[in-house]
A and B are shown apart, each in its own frame.
Chain A
Amino acid sequence: MIRRRWTTAGLGIALVAVVGVAPLLPRWSLFVVTISLAKGLVALGLLLLMRTGLVSFGQGLYYAVGAYAAGVGAEALHLSDAVPMVILGALAAAAVALVLGLLLARYRAIFFAMLSLAFSMILYGVLVKTSAFGSTDGFNVAPKSILGFAAAGPAGRFGVYGVAALCAFGATLGIDRYLRSKLGRLAPAVRDNELRVEYMGASVRNVVHLHLVLAAALAGLGGALTALAVGHVDPEMAYWTTSGEFVFIAILSGTSSVAAPFVGALLLELLRSFAYEHAPNTWQLVMGVAMLGVILFLPEGLWSLFRRRVRSAT
């Protein structure tokens, strides 16, 4: 109980800080932080899956579905406000996972990883060939308003940033609460021993399916926010390198804290920005060395640096 209040307070302070510093940030970094929040949401979903013992190499699928749904929603459904667009993105991704989960929830380990990768590459293939969605070029996404306020110019950028910060706050708090609930506590139990979970009377497949849907909703949310921040969607969002980047963030962050994915995502974005600027031809090499360093020296992720206690009180 005390810990729960502490988490709420900590996340609340983080939200105020993130929103409060926004006017002080240079324009480029406002964008970097917005994207980090969006990708952190996807990584938060991966954290939930990893705690359940699953690594998905296909979160790009839900990321792209969320982004495209937000864009198509704006066009076809005449949703001109950013908030319903973002909600639509999350719901569309969750709906896709609800269906794919019927198959995915049966698989584990490398089979689960490869199957999720395969689904994302199928979507990539479809998007590239769909001229209605602009094929490889994608299409532009621009909300007319954010919660009723006009979304043009710098105010719009702050607006998207604020929506992203609120989404990250709400999702992190929600996942934290969930992981402490009776059902959420089953995540490590399923990872450790599925047989025992079944012999205690719970359905492992239902737990896995639910976590797939939750992770997809978070990825869809992240995708829709990215679409709004970038103002554009394209099939690369479903490509396997995008999915790989989310796994990179999740490993960089570690699974011990629900706040870690956002820190990890921000560090990755900053690292990439600097690597791109200072080593434009070999920036992938820099990223690879960084990943190697994390795996060798911080196998439990960056968060293990901050952690005082060995075990979190789940």
Chain B
Amino acid sequence: MSAILETTGLTKTFGAITAASDLHVRIEENTVVGLIGGNGAGKTTFINLVTGYLRPTAGTVRFEGRDITGLPPRRVTRLGICRSFQIPQVFDSLTTYENVLVGLGIVSMGRRAFAGSAPGGPAPEAAAEQVLTRFRLDAYRDELAGVLPEGLRKLLDIAMALAVKPRILLLDEPTSGVSADEKFGLMDLVLEVIREAGVTVLFVEHDMDIVRRYTQRILAFYEGRIIADGSPGAVLADAEVRRLVVGESEADVGGAPC
């Protein structure tokens, strides 16, 4: 399998704090990779570096062999990398349908963002309805996104990220804030859609049951470094991971209100 995403020596420092330290990561196409680690371990920083939200202090990011280091998020998005957010980033004053419609509108405008503005171009309306049906959001079509329950906002956030038709999708804690009995349903649905679309996935997750069940590979972060990288069984059995990551995050999950 070929590498779709590769980072070499990726480093990010904020003053005296090193949020990412010399990260060498190679992600193969069509895999589902979990990123685990305690708070402040550097998982979200890694996502922010890959998607261009943060500029690395050192190192490079290559996507499909192309150097994308330092490109702004919208350029990175256009190349085929999209993300969802720990706190869903949706358009609160628009309905669920309009949220998807705006997103698909941007995608269909392509690079000719201004030339494609003429009314009467190819209509994303039908495609938006399909996305809603696929993500089982059609019952909430005309609800304002700002008043949807957290689980549905998460789902809408992911649906919008996938509407961009990315080659690789980064999910930042897709199940945080989602009630315990809805978590597996949400992940089943999301991964089903992802498999159909043939998208490579990296997701940050604190819930070890989720990580064990849905990933083929795990990267364990600690203080900006990767301390373990391998199959879920091997990584979760690793003594250092158990001491530094799993113990802490399981305590986190247990203490969090549902």
- Tell me the A residues contacting B by CB distance below 8 Å: 177-178, 180-186, 188-189, 191-193, 195-203, 206, 210, 311, 314
Residues in A whose Cβ lies below 8 Å from that of B119: 177-178, 180-181
Cβ-defined contact, A199 with B102, below 8 A? no
Cβ-defined contact, A201 with B117, below 8 A? no
Residues in B whose Cβ lies below 8 Å from that of A201: 74, 77-78, 106-107, 164
Which residue of chain A lies nearest to B73 when distances are taken between CB atoms in the complex? A198
Cβ-defined contact, A186 with B94, below 8 A? no
- How many Å lie between the Cα of A198 and that of B114 in the bound state? 15
Residues in A whose Cβ lies below 8 Å from that of B83: 199
- How many Å lie between the Cα of A192 and that of B91 in the bound state? 5
Interface string of B48-92 (1 = CB under 8 A from A): 000100000000000000000000111001100011000001111
Interface size class on chain B is 35 or more
In the assembled complex, B103 has its CB within 8 A of some CB on chain A: yes
**Assuming the A-B contacts A177-B119, A185-B101, are A193 and B113 also in contact, with contact meaning beta carbons closer than 8 angstroms in the complex?**
no
Q: Beyond A177-B119, A201-B164, list 18 extra A-B contacts (CB 8 Å).
A: A178-B117, A178-B119, A181-B119, A183-B109, A183-B114, A183-B116, A185-B105, A193-B89, A193-B90, A193-B92, A198-B73, A198-B74, A198-B77, A199-B82, A199-B89, A200-B106, A200-B160, A201-B77
- How many Å lie between the Cα of A177 and that of B114 in the bound state? 15
- How many Å lie between the Cα of A184 and that of B106 in the bound state? 11
In the assembled complex, B93 has its CB within 8 A of some CB on chain A: yes
- How many Å lie between the Cα of A177 and that of B77 in the bound state? 28
- How many Å lie between the Cα of A186 and that of B161 in the bound state? 16
Cβ-defined contact, A189 with B94, below 8 A? yes
- How many Å lie between the Cα of A178 and that of B91 in the bound state? 19
Residues in B whose Cβ lies below 8 Å from that of A210: 114
B115 to chain A minimum Cβ distance, whole angstroms, is 10
Cβ-defined contact, A182 with B72, below 8 A? no
Residues in A whose Cβ lies below 8 Å from that of B103: 200
- How many Å lie between the Cα of A8 and that of B98 in the bound state? 23
Residues in B whose Cβ lies below 8 Å from that of A311: 95
Cβ-defined contact, B51 with A182, below 8 A? no
CB pairs A–B below 8 angstroms (5 shown): A182-B116, A193-B91, A199-B51, A200-B74, A200-B164
**Assuming the A-B contacts A193-B91, A201-B107, A203-B74, are A181 and B117 also in contact, with contact meaning beta carbons closer than 8 angstroms in the complex?**
yes
In the assembled complex, B256 has its CB within 8 A of some CB on chain A: no
**Assuming the A-B contacts A177-B119, A200-B106, are A192 and B92 also in contact, with contact meaning beta carbons closer than 8 angstroms in the complex?**
yes
Cβ-defined contact, A202 with B73, below 8 A? no
B218 to chain A minimum Cβ distance, whole angstroms, is 25
